[in-house]
Amino acid sequence: MNIPLVDLKANYLSIKNEIDSAIQDVLNSSSFIMGPFVKRFEENFARFCQVKHAVGCANGTAAVHLALLVAGVKNGDEVLTVPNTFIATTECISYVGGKIKFVDVAPQTALINIDALEKAITKKTKALIVVDLYGQMPDMQRIREIAIKHDLFLIEDAAQAHAAEWNGHQPGYYGDIACFSFFPAKNLGCYGDGGAVTTNYDELAEKLRLLMNHGRTTKYEHTIEGYNYRLDALQAAILDVKLTHLLKWTDLRREHARFYDRNLPSNVGRIIEAKGAKHVYYMYEIRVKPRDELIAYLKQQGIECGIHYPLPLHLQPAYASLGFRKGQFPVSEQLAQEIISIPIYPELSSEQRDCIVDHIKKFVHK
């Protein structure tokens, strides 16, 4: 049995007629840049997230960049985030001249250690980027209180957390801004690159729209210099179709996760779902030693796995000049040595789930 880590083809085939029709509508209209398809998706996505505004953009990296721009982060301003995330989170801090400052994570959830977060804040701290890793939000109520107390701009990197919740609220409720990626493998993914920024603040939404589209108010009138960070109409139309299926797909991911929770061996560690969180399982993470041997064994059985992420950002060659040291963020480093992402896409069959669990049990018992 061959089981991919993500099965994009199976997802497409499950809604093929709807997708093909949406693409044809865009082709027939020839409205490829901005226009009604983008506007409709933005309105529907804002409604889905229960926020006032959603601004489509080119990708998740652009979303974080836009968020930091409207946050007013400038040269030398500290931005706190975690080292166990994709480099897009921190690249954007560098784009605006900010200073990257890391905070370690909690071992049970792999999410930001909130006690360490508050201790890391200084007079130079301007913003927080909270990463909703693997599809789970941390205690955003507490983080919001800390941000208000220290007058910090709060950004939620929700690239992996479409439909996730903390105490019944999705990304964008607690933060000043939430940033989403629609990379094809995401829970809500398009067929190329795409992203969005959500907010409940009118002024921030207005700034985001200007920055996203060359700073213009009309075709040839530019209030400020901006960026070409637009969401393609084709991708918006695809996302609008897939959005109608997202809650069903989320329920399936959570059902698969409950199966793994019940059936994986007790001596296989895993990232837990915290009380108060609704985890949407972009990835299901287990923790195993020896990790590489298990991955090799599963690959031999036709089961594809991944590692998200094998090298924490503070140890990346790109940041060697910043002076971070090995051992500085021990939980992130330990997770990087132990975590394995196993298949959990909505189309996963019960036979495939059984196969994955059976082979993990065989390896562990052996």
Give 253-272 pLDDT, tens digit per residue. Answer: 999 999 999 999 999 999 99
Grade residue 304 by pLDDT with cuts at 50, 70 and 90: very high
Q: Where are the CATH 3.90.1150.10 domain residues in the chain?
A: 246-365
pLDDT tens digits, one per residue of 326-352: 999 999 999 999 999 999 999 999 999
Q: Please determine, for residue 65, whether its predicted confidence score (pLDDT) is greater than 90.
A: yes
Q: Please determine, for residue 366, whether its predicted confidence score (pLDDT) is greater than 90.
A: no
Q: What is the rounded distance in angstroms from the CA atom of residue 169 to the CA atom of residue 189? A: 21
Grade residue 236 by pLDDT with cuts at 50, 70 and 90: very high
8-103+110-243 is classed in which CATH architecture? 3-Layer(aba) Sandwich (3.40)
Grade residue 314 by pLDDT with cuts at 50, 70 and 90: very high
Grade residue 356 by pLDDT with cuts at 50, 70 and 90: very high
Looking at residues 149-157, what average pLDDT do you find? 98
Q: What is the rounded distance in angstroms from the CA atom of residue 299 to the CA atom of residue 279? A: 27
Q: If 0-12 CB within 10 Å is exposed, 13-18 middle and 19+ buried, where does residue 130 land? A: buried
SS3 assignment for the chain: CCECCCCHHHHHHHCHHHHHHHHHHHHHHCCCECHHHHHHHHHHHHHHHCCCEEEEECCHHHHHHHHHHHHCCCCCCEEEECCCCCCHHHHHHHHCCCEEEECCECCCCCCECHHHHHHHCCCCEEEEEEECHHHCCCCHHHHHHHHHHCCCEEEEECCCCCCCEECCECCCCCCCEEEEECCCCCCCCCCCCCEEEEECCHHHHHHHHHHHECCEEECCEECCCCCECCCEHHHHHHHHHHHCCHHHHHHHHHHHHHHHHHHCCCCCEECCCCCCEECCCCCEEEECCCHHHHHHHHHHCCECCECCCCCCHHHCHHHHHHCCCCCCCHHHHHHHHHEEEECCCCCCCHHHHHHHHHHHHHHHHC
Q: Using an 8 Å Cβ cutoff, are 338 and 291 in contact?
A: yes
Q: Where are the CATH 3.40.640.10 domain residues in the chain?
A: 8-103+110-243
pLDDT at 278: 98
pLDDT at 333: 98
Identify the CATH number of the domain defined by range 246-365: 3.90.1150.10
Q: Please determine, for residue 114, whether its predicted confidence score (pLDDT) is greater than 90.
A: yes
The whole-chain average pLDDT of the chain stands at 97
pLDDT at 92: 98
Which residue from 194, 218, 197 is spatially nearest to 63, judged by alpha carbons?
197
pLDDT tens digits, one per residue of 172-189: 999 999 999 999 999 999
Q: Please determine, for residue 146, whether its predicted confidence score (pLDDT) is greater than 90.
A: yes
Grade residue 217 by pLDDT with cuts at 50, 70 and 90: confident
